[in-house]
Amino acid sequence: MTNPYVIQPATIVEKIREAEHIHTYRLQLVDEEVRRTFRFKAGQFNMVYVFGVGEVAISIVSDPDEPEFLNHTIRAVGRITKAIAALQSGDVLGIRGPFGQGWPLDEARGRNVVIVTGGLGCAPVVGAIEYIFKRREQYGSIKILHGVKTPHDLLYRERFDQWRRAPDTEVLLASGQPDKTWSYHIGVVTELFEEVAIDSMKSIVLMCGPEIMMRLGVPILMRRGIPETAIYLSLERHMECGIGLCGHCQMGPYFLCKDGPVMRYDRVAQWLGQTGV
Amino acid sequence: MAMAREIGVLPRVDLQRLLDALSAKGYRIVGPTVRDGAVVWETVRSVSDLPVGWRDHQEPGRYRLEQTGSQEVFGVVHGPQSLKQFVFAPREPLLQIERTKDGFVTRPTLPQSEKVAIIGARACDLAGLAVQDRIFLKDFHSDPYYAARREGLFLVAVNCTRALNTCFCASMETGPRAKHGFDLALSELDDQLLIEAGSEAGRDLLSNLCLSRGSEQLSAEAATRVDACAQSQVRRLDHSRLPQALYDAHEHPRWDEVASRCLACTNCTMVCPTCFCHTVEETPDLSYQHTTHARLWDSCFTQEHGYIHGKNMRPTIKDRYRMWLTHKLASWIDQFGASGCVGCGRCITWCPVGIDLTEELPALLSPGIQPSIVRQRVDGM
């Protein structure tokens, strides 16, 4: 019987500043055998551990084809993420994972992909975008709609620029509180739906960010004719174990750590937006 | 089939022989004992450690023991503890982690599998254990800590012949007779104990005792008493419309009403035989070179349970009571193919304000505002 609680040490190879209090940590598992066999899917997450402090669930943002490196973008916001922020290159963190269901990238093959994200919520989908671009010919058009509160919250800025230049790809950005430098849409991300043509029967939607964005955004997409079975959401709840045992991440009958975090909309529609769920 | 089962008869005055036989097999024996006005599980060596002559009386928010002066050994139905603590430990150290110059090394701290014979488990307790088995052992991530503790258990059940005011196992189809999941099952018939084996280990032990075979008449008498116990239960829970009916009741005004009484004290989740929520605690030593990574029972009634960075998904007591009851009675069925409630009634007894889920559920499933509930109360005192 394998022990799902064992934590694997991982060295911080690089710590990249993304924005204030937000860094991407490039990690490498210390144990060679573990490193060699570690595989993950875009959209899955790891429990990231700090010695003497504890664990926190963080999505993997790096390319699943380079599993020897694991990138995690982390905002210093709570007890454990603040302890992570105090670490530097060369320090050792712990990793337990990968956990959960990733994005439906096989199902998305041959279809147009619409990616809708908000704030730091774009992190879990970055790996999926990279995956698609590496196999560009297998997918249809790509539309990336990303909303931030202020321009300072725009992470991976150079990647958005890079994606924008790719063939058959549109990148639309929105900011609710723009500054003078902002040359994109002013408002919320769901308003960007008006600016793109979406072939409703050929498209698959990957959505990630605040739940309010999903609750407001999904009905608009459905009015545009996109079936609810073509809309996927990456959802967030308190997660401690990663294996559906600790009980915290429940949403209706689901344990989002193992049944999610990526869920098809029709499966969670009943619970999304209900208070206290 | 019941008649074909091998049933032995042990005179009650000879119960010590059963304890001795278990000891001889290397089991530490755990049974109900009286402590601080309640019955709790403790290591027992002799029959006199058991609550001979005691009976428990339970009502919403009330638990009392009474000494009747009789020779009845298993007169107490149950205390606050189910079997949960023996397998899903209240605090289970998972890992010892040692700092090294290259980082740290992790050592799992699996519990020693200990042979423990628990005497006096009730049908509802066995049903609760079966629910926990489904959670901790049936999935692709079997829990090795739970498995190690579970492996060493030998379960001696006692069929209930007296229902508490708070019992509703009959309506949950989990009791009062222990049907499976035991090694031995006892029926206490005045000065005789009928012993039935439910496993190979149980049959082995039973044959060691060389008992006289129970007559059909005795078996029939035991069955009659268990049936009477089922009939006498004053509470019931109609789960026929679950899970959907409770999902549909998400906005029912009754949640506000019950939340105004609930203290969010977590008692119901602590005494529940099936609640499995846990949190992980990291305890470094003073040198910060060594840390213990342990899991502890958690409760969905705490502030922290639904917390995600800067936000609480369930900030109000209403949210948390609704989470608990909806999970227990509804989403549990979707998750594990069975209800999370076994009808033991502990959450009713140990609720300091006497909230009773058998009263809350029908209120939540009836249209409109709180119906008045008239229920015949039979006081055990």
Model ipTM value: 0.92
Q: What is the DSSP letter of B152?
A: T
Question: Per the CB < 8 Å rule, is B103 touching A81?
Answer: no
For A237, the closest of B300, B308, B318 (CB atoms) is B308
Q: State pLDDT tens for residues A232-248.
A: 999 999 999 999 999 99
d(C-alpha B155, C-alpha B161), whole Å: 19
Could you tell me which chain A residue has the CA closest to the CA of B147? A1
Looking at the DSSP assignment, which residues form a beta bridge with residue B292? B96, B283
Is B300 in the A-facing interface, judged by CB distances under 8 Å?
yes
- How confident is the model at residue B54, as a pLDDT? 98
Q: State pLDDT tens for residues B201-245.
A: 999 999 999 999 989 999 999 999 999 999 999 999 999 999 999
Where does the pLDDT of residue B8 fall: very low under 50, low under 70, confident under 90, or very high at 90 and above?
very high
Q: Tell me the average pLDDT of chain A.
A: 94
- How confident is the model at residue A216, as a pLDDT? 93
Structure tokens at A112: 């147009």
Cβ-Cβ contacts under 8 Å, B295 against chain A: 246
Residue A160 has pLDDT above 70, yes or no: yes
d(C-alpha B362, C-alpha B369), whole Å: 12
CA of A253 to nearest chain B CA: how many angstroms apart? 5
d(C-alpha B241, C-alpha B150), whole Å: 33
Where does the pLDDT of residue B102 fall: very low under 50, low under 70, confident under 90, or very high at 90 and above?
confident
Where does the pLDDT of residue B376 fall: very low under 50, low under 70, confident under 90, or very high at 90 and above?
very low
For B280, the closest of A6, A54, A247 (CB atoms) is A54
φ/ψ (deg, to 5) at A33? -65, -45
Q: How many CB pairs under 8 A join A and B?
A: 122
Where does the pLDDT of residue B139 fall: very low under 50, low under 70, confident under 90, or very high at 90 and above?
low
Report the percent of chain A where pLDDT is more than 90: 88
CA of B368 to nearest chain A CA: how many angstroms apart? 20
Structure tokens at B161: 């012949």
d(C-alpha B222, C-alpha A20), whole Å: 73
Strand, helix or coil for residue B268: helix
Q: What is the mean pLDDT of residues B38-64?
A: 98
- How confident is the model at residue A104, as a pLDDT? 97
CA of B336 to nearest chain A CA: how many angstroms apart? 10
Where does the pLDDT of residue B379 fall: very low under 50, low under 70, confident under 90, or very high at 90 and above?
very low
Strand, helix or coil for residue B12: helix
Q: Give the amino acid at A199.
A: D
Residue B29 has pLDDT above 70, yes or no: yes
d(C-alpha B249, C-alpha B110), whole Å: 42
Extract the runs of DSSP E, i.e. beta strands, from chain B: 7-11, 28-35, 38-43, 54-59, 62-67, 91-100, 103-108, 116-121, 153-158, 184-189, 192-197, 212-213, 278-284, 290-297, 307-308, 311-312
Q: State pLDDT tens for residues A35-81.
A: 999 999 999 999 999 999 999 999 999 989 899 999 999 999 989 99
Q: Tell me the average pLDDT of chain B.
A: 93
Which of B262, B323, B331 is best to mutate for the A interface (most A CBs within 10 A)? B331
d(C-alpha A99, C-alpha A46), whole Å: 6
For A51, the closest of B104, B108, B334 (CB atoms) is B104
φ/ψ (deg, to 5) at A224? -80, 0
Residue B375 has pLDDT above 70, yes or no: no
Which one has a higher pLDDT value, B322 or B113? B322
**What is the pTM (predicted TM-score) of this model?**
0.93
Residue B369 has pLDDT above 60, yes or no: no
- How confident is the model at residue B368, as a pLDDT? 66
Is B109 in the A-facing interface, judged by CB distances under 8 Å?
no
Q: Give the amino acid at B111.
A: P
Is B338 in the A-facing interface, judged by CB distances under 8 Å?
no
Is B151 in the A-facing interface, judged by CB distances under 8 Å?
no
Q: State pLDDT tens for residues B84-100.
A: 999 999 999 999 999 99
Is B327 in the A-facing interface, judged by CB distances under 8 Å?
yes
Interface residues from chain A to B (CB-CB < 8 Å): 1-9, 11, 30, 51-55, 75, 77-78, 81, 92, 94, 236-238, 240-241, 243-248, 250, 252-253, 255, 270, 274-277
Query: B85 — alpha (psi -120 to 50), left (phi > 0) or beta?
Result: alpha
Q: Smallest Cα–Cα separation from B71: which of B14, B125, B9, B117?
A: B14
Residue B108 makes CB contacts below 8 A (sequence gap 6+) with A3, A5, A6, B94, B95, B144
φ/ψ (deg, to 5) at A160? -60, -40
CA of A51 to nearest chain B CA: how many angstroms apart? 8
Q: Smallest Cα–Cα separation from B145: which of B342, B299, B36, B294?
A: B294
For A7, the closest of B95, B143, B314 (CB atoms) is B95
Cβ-Cβ contacts under 8 Å, A77 against chain B: 309-310
C-alpha neighbours within 13 Å on the C-beta side of residue B64: 11
Q: Which helix (H) or strand (E) holds A85?
A: helix A79-85
Residue B363 has pLDDT above 80, yes or no: yes
Residue A218 has pLDDT above 80, yes or no: yes
Could you tell me which chain A residue has the CA closest to the CA of B103? A92
